[in-house]
Each structure stands twice: as structure tokens, then as C-alpha cells.
């Protein structure tokens, strides 16, 4: 009997979208392996192909549809499952538009994956597992370090989801409808997972959630979680993403200012710089309060680096309102930004309430101006680091030169530097710390030299 005819299958998972999706894929791998299936990194050898999808970005949508169309021609004995936000958002519409798909599994249904796989092989019927539940936080299903290591063998940065869902209902966003309402994992579970990663050799952890600073587990807040991780683990760097500007507690700012291990890096989504657009987006802050938060953190946290998200061409956005966004971007002086033209998403408040009335050419022009200004700003910000001696967490060998190493500063800035005359191979130093002097900069990357390895 061939593997594909037996009960247990070889499963290939391909992930699109955010870091939370990456974590969910690791969790799905863990669930499937516990059920007896095996994970393969070879698409051609798989009996089951799972696409873990994103419903937020247009390009992720299109990539998934292109892939499903390819499978329609070369599917063979395999079964195809679509997981995640796109599956939850489109439901039966996705099955109709992509006949190659055998089953759908939403973000709250991954515990049912073994059952879905068994069903589609034995019954040859389509399966939809799309229920959302505020009770599902996958307690006990977190991926063990062995699964993390398979995805990230360098043992440098691990990702841990601390919270699922969202209660904000921003009008442009589909997440509350695809991932459900907010619920947070207990501090004890998160701490155990971080300590396991640390014991496996990881040097940094990124805490993930749609709105991490609204984390609440019983009476425990996000600041309580950070204090617990600082106290009960020794992992050198703790990062997080993504917070919401409307609820950024003073205690969290104090912690980042006081604790070197709580990395001085903040991704704070702006989305728009005009108060009327922000109101229609239902963001619950003003341009003034946003800038006040940025300034407060910059004044109190040395070396902090800020990144953001911005949407141009939201329905009804005028040229004057776009200019307000440019003005806030200049004043906030972000180190980097993820910038997008608005694209309507099925099921959102904006799709129901506001016509998508900014012409595509206008959106593109605004986006290009925004990107051009940010690239200049990022270059200027990075150039100011030239001459500084900095601590680097070495993450990898440079993609462009195998005699160079790449890594990050504690504030997330990327740096590339030549491999000195250390003993051994460059790969031996991945996960180690080094000091280097910054000698040049581009808008995206710093370049270092005169590196020395640290003993820690």
C-alpha cells in the first residue's frame, strides 16, 4: 500500500500573509504530527497540500488563486485544503471559484484538520470547518521547539502568538470576521513556550497579536506579561507586534525605557494622518494624539526605532487629506513603513458603507509619493547611525555574499558586516552576539565593520 492510500498522509503547508499565519502553520504542523501525519517540505511528494492564507492584502489573495489554478491542472491523487483568513472570509464562494479545493478550515478550526483530511480521502466530499469561537485559544496545541526549528533552523528568533482575534472593527479590516473576537492566552502558557524556545537556543522572541497591548488574561495585562517574561526567562531580546495607538499604557513605556531586554522597537500603525479619514476608519485616535504618543516614547526610550502601516486612497480621501498623512509621516519621522493602496475587502464595514471612489491611478500616485518620501527618510535616519559601535544579534549569512553576516540591532534595524578572522565557518556564529562599527547605510540596511564577537 502506498503512503497516499494509508491512513496517515504526507502534508505540505505553504503560508501567506502575516507572522501570525506563520505561527498558525507551525501549530497546524504540530496538530497533524500528533495525529500521525508527517510534514514534508516537498510539494511534489505531498498527499495533502495546505495553503494558509491571508485576507488582508490583495497580492496574497492573488497568489493563492494563481496557485489553486495550477493545482487544477496537476492535482493527481492529492487533496487541497485552504486554511486561514481567506477561507473564513470567502467560504463556499472560494470552493465555487477554485474547484480544486477539497476543504476549508478557518483560524479556529485547526484542531479538526486530521478529521477533515480523513474525510476528504474516505468520503471524497468537500468539507467546510468555518465556525469561530471565543473559547478557542489552542491551549496545549502550541508548537514545540522541534517544530519551530524545522521552520527556522538558525535558532535565532521565535514567534509566539499571545492573543487571537480583534475587537476593534476598523472599517477597512476583515480580521474580526475571519479570526473572531479577542481572547488572550494565559501568562503561564506563554512563559512556558518562551522558556522552551530559550532552552532550544533561541535568542529573541516576537510576541504576536492583532492588538497586543489590549492583552488581558484574567486580571493580567500586557505589561504584566512582559514583566513575567523578564523575570522568569533569560531570553536576551523580547519584541512584540502589533499594538494599537489608542491604548498604549504608561507602564509599558516605562518598561521599555528601563529594561534593556525589552527591545526598543515599536511598530505602531498610523493608517492615515487626517482626523476625518481616521474617524471613518474607526481608528479611535487623532493625528495629534498619535504624534504625542510617538514623541513621548522617543523622549523616554533611547535608540527606539519606529515602523508603521499606512493606507492611501481610503474611500473619500481627498488630496488635502492625503497631504495631512504626508505631514504626519514627516513629523512622526518613522524609521520604516509598510505602505499600501486601499483595496476593498469583502465583509468589512467599509465595503458595505463607503464606495471605493478614489481612482486607481490616483491611489498609485499617492502611494508612490508616500514611498519616495519614506525611502528618503529611512536613508536619513539610518545615516545618523554611521560611526556608532553597536551590538548585533547575528541571524544569518548575507544573501549577497557568503563571506558576510547579517543581523539586527536590538531596535530591529538590519545590519550586514564582513566575516572577520574568527575560527570556523560563518554559519557557526549564527545566534551569537557581536559588536561592530557602522560605516555606511542604505534606506533599508546598515553596513558594519571591525566586528568582534561577544562572549555572551
Task: For 230-282, give the DSSP string.
Answer: HHH---SEEEEE---TT---HHHHHHHHH-TTB-SEEE---B-S-HHHHHHHT
Distance in angstroms (rounded) separating the CA atoms of residues 159 and 79: 29
Q: What is the mean pLDDT of residues 15-30?
A: 94
Residue 340 near residue 311 (C-beta atoms within 8 A): yes
Instruction: Quote the mean pLDDT of the chain.
Output: 94
169-202 pLDDT tens trace: 999 999 999 999 999 999 999 999 999 999 999 9
Cell of 249: 499604557
Per-residue cell: 11:
502534508
Q: How far apart are the first and last CA of the chain?
A: 52
- CATH number, position 216: 3.30.750.210
Strand-pairing partners, residue 447, are: 416, 440
What is the domain-level CATH number for residue 271? 3.30.750.200
Rounded to 5 degrees, what are φ and ψ at 405?
A: -110, 155
- Structural domain that includes position 57: 3-129
Of 329, 355, 384, the last residue of a domain is: 384
Indicate whether 2 pLDDT > 60.
no
**DSSP-assigned letter for residue 287:** H
As a whole number, mean pLDDT of residues 333-357 equals: 95
Backbone angles phi, psi at 68, to 5 degrees: -65, -35
pLDDT at position 396 is 95
Q: Is 166:20 a contact under the CB 8 Å cutoff?
A: no
Alpha-helical (H) ranges within 74-186 are 85-90, 92-97, 113-122, 145-151, 175-178
Q: Are residues 380 and 407 in the same domain?
A: no
How many residues can be counted in the chain? 456
Residue 235 above 60 pLDDT?
Answer: yes
pLDDT in tens, 152-166: 877 899 999 999 999
Q: Are residues 271 and 343 in the same domain?
A: yes
Three-state DSSP at 211 gives coil
Q: For the CA atoms of the chain, what is the radius of gyration?
A: 23
Q: What is the pLDDT of residues 103-147, one digit of tens each?
A: 999 999 999 999 999 999 998 899 999 999 988 989 889 999 999
Question: 124 with 162, same domain?
Answer: no
- The CATH number given to whatever domain includes residue 439 is 2.40.50
Q: Are residues 443 and 366 in the same domain?
A: no
Q: Cα–Cα distances in Å, from 447 out to 47, 354, 385?
A: 45, 46, 10
| Digit-coded pLDDT (tens) for 441-450 | 999 999 999 9
Identify the CATH number of the domain in which residue 8 sits: 3.40.50.12160
> Which of 369, 384, 399 represents a domain boundary (last residue)?
384
Report the run of H or E that residue 63 belongs to, with start and end. helix 58-73
Q: What is the mean pLDDT of residues 245-260?
A: 93
Indicate if 217 and 193 belong to the same structural domain: yes
Q: Which three cell numbers stand for residue 102?
A: 477539497
Same domain, 370 and 277: yes
Please, are residues 101 and 95 in contact by the beta-carbon 8 Å criterion? yes
End position of a domain, from candidates 221, 247, 263? 263
Instruction: Tell me, yes or no, whether 316 and 275 share the same domain.
Output: yes
CA dihedral 167, 298, 286, 369 (to 10 degrees): -100
Q: Which three cell numbers stand for residue 230?
A: 523578564
Pairing mode, strands 445-453 and 433-441: antiparallel
One domain, residues 255 and 296: no
Please write the tens of the pLDDT for every residue from 37-95.
999 999 999 999 999 998 877 777 788 989 898 887 778 889 999 999 999 999 999 99
Q: For the chain, what is the domain count?
A: 4
What is residue 17's predicted lDDT score, i.e. its pLDDT? 87
**What integer is the mean pLDDT of 424-440?**
95
Residue 353 sits in the same domain as residue 400: no
Same domain, 141 and 259: yes
Regarding whether 309 and 426 lie in a shared domain, the answer is: no
Among residues 259, 322, 331, 323, the alpha carbon closest in space to that of 294 is found at 331
Those residues whose C-beta lies under 8 Å from the C-beta of residue 122, and which sit 6 or more positions away, are none
C-alpha cell at 92: 463556499
> Is the pLDDT confidence value at 4 over 60?
no
Which residues lie across from 84 on neighbouring strands? 53
The share of the chain scoring above pLDDT 70, in percent, equals 99
pLDDT value of residue 1 = 35
| Same-domain check for residues 275 and 307 | yes
Cα separation of 3 and 1, whole Å?
7
Amino acid at each position: 500500500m502506498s503512503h497516499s492510500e494509508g491512513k496517515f498522509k504526507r502534508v505540505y503547508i505553504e503560508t501567506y500573509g502575516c507572522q501570525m499565519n506563520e505561527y498558525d502553520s507551525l501549530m497546524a504542523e504540530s496538530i497533524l504530527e500528533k495525529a500521525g501525519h508527517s510534514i514534508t517540505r516537498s510539494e511534489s511528494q505531498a498527499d495533502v497540500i495546505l495553503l494558509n492564507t491571508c485576507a488582508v492584502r490583495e497580492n496574497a489573495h492573488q497568489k493563492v488563486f494563481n496557485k489553486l489554478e495550477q493545482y487544477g491542472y496537476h492535482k493527481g491523487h492529492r487533496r487541497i485544503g485552504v486554511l486561514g483568513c481567506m477561507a473564513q472570509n470567502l467560504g463556499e464562494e472560494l470552493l465555487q471559484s477554485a474547484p480544486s479545493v477539497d476543504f476549508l478550515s478557518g483560524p479556529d478550526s485547526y484542531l479538526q484538520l486530521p478529521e477533515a483530511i480523513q474525510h476528504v480521502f474516505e468520503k471524497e466530499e468537500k468539507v467546510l470547518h468555518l465556525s469561530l469561537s471565543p473559547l478557542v485559544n489552542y491551549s496545549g496545541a502550541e508548537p514545540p521547539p522541534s517544530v519551530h526549528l524545522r521552520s527556522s533552523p538558525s535558532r535565532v528568533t521565535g514567534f509566539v502568538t499571545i492573543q487571537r482575534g480583534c475587537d476593534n472593527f476598523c472599517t477597512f479590516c476583515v480580521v474580526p470576521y475571519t479570526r473572531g473576537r479577542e481572547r488572550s492566552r494565559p501568562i503561564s502558557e506563554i512563559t512556558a513556550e518562551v522558556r522552551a524556545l530559550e532552552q532550544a537556543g533561541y535568542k529573541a522572541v516576537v510576541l504576536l497579536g492583532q492588538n497586543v497591548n489590549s492583552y488581558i488574561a484574567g486580571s493580567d495585562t500586557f505589561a504584566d506579561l512582559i514583566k513575567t517574561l523578564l523575570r522568569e526567562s533569560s531570553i536576551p531580546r523580547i519584541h512584540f507586534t502589533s499594538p494599537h495607538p489608542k491604548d498604549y499604557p504608561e507602564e509599558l513605556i516605562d518598561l521599555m525605557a528601563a529594561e534593556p531586554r525589552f527591545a526598543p522597537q515599536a511598530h505602531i500603525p498610523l493608517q492615515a494622518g487626517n482626523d476625518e479619514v481616521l474617524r471613518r476608519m474607526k481608528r479611535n485616535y487623532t493625528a495629534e494624539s498619535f504624534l504625542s504618543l510617538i514623541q513621548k516614547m522617543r523622549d523616554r526610550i533611547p535608540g527606539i526605532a519606529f515602523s508603521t502601516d499606512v493606507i492611501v486612497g481610503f474611500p473619500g480621501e481627498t488630496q488635502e487629506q492625503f497631504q495631512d498623512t504626508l505631514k504626519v509621516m514627516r513629523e512622526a519621522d518613522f524609521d520604516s513603513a509598510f505602505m499600501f493602496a486601499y483595496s476593498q475587502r469583502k465583509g468589512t464595514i467599509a465595503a458595505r458603507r463607503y464606495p471605493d471612489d478614489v481612482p486607481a491611478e490616483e491611489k498609485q500616485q499617492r502611494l508612490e509619493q508616500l514611498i519616495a518620501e519614506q525611502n528618503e527618510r529611512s536613508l536619513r535616519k539610518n545615516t545618523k547611525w554611521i560611526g556608532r559601535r553597536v551590538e548585533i544579534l547575528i541571524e544569518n549569512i548575507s544573501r549577497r555574499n557568503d563571506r558576510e553576516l547579517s543581523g539586527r540591532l536590538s531596535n530591529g534595524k538590519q545590519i550586514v558586516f564582513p566575516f572577520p578572522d574568527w575560527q570556523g565557518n560563518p554559519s557557526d556564529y549564527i545566534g551569537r552576539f557581536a559588536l561592530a562599527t557602522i560605516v555606511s547605510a542604505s534606506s533599508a540596511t546598515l553596513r558594519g565593520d571591525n566586528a568582534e564577537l561577544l562572549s555572551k
